[in-house]
Amino acid sequence: MLYAILCYKDEDVVTAWSREEDAAVMARLGVVHERLQSKGQLGPSLRLLPTTAATTLRKASEPPLVIDGPFAETKEQLLGFYVVDVADLDEALGIARDLAAANPGGAYELRPVLLYNPDPRLEPRVAAG
C-alpha cells in the first residue's frame, strides 16, 4: 500500500538553521532513509524550496489568478513529502515516528495514495482502497 507522508514544520525555524544544523538533521534522516531503501519501501521523497519561491494559481476566478507565494494561513508549511510502500497504516505510522525522532517538531500527515499518472520508469503500483 502506498502512503504519502507530508512533512509540515515552521518554515522560519528550518530556514534559520545553520548549514551544520541542517546537515545534522539530514544525517539523522539519512539513517531512516537508508533503512527504508534497504527494505524497498522508500519511493520518491522531495524537500520543497521555501514558500518565498512558490507561486499559486487560484482557480476561483476566470481566468485563474496567479500570485506569488502559497499564502497559507498556518504557522506550519508543507516542506516536503515521502512516498512509502508499506503493508498498512500502522507500518506507515512507524516510519513517521522514526522520521519525527530524527527531525523533531512540526507534524507528519499520512494519506493513502493512488498512482494517478505513474512514472513510466517505475513498476506501476496502486494502493488498496
Q: Which helix (H) or strand (E) holds 44?
A: strand 42-47
Burial (CB count <10 Å: 0-12, 13-18, 19+), residue 70: middle
Domains delineated in the chain: 2-112 (3.30.70.1060)
Indicate whether this model's pTM tops 0.85: no
pLDDT for 122? 61
Average confidence (pLDDT) over 36-43: 95
Buried b (16+ CB within 10 A) or exposed e, 11-30: beebeeeeeeeeeeeeebbe
pLDDT value for 76:
81
**What confidence tens digit (pLDDT) does each residue in 74-112 have?**
678 889 999 999 999 999 999 999 999 999 888 999 999
Find the mean pLDDT for residues 8-17.
92
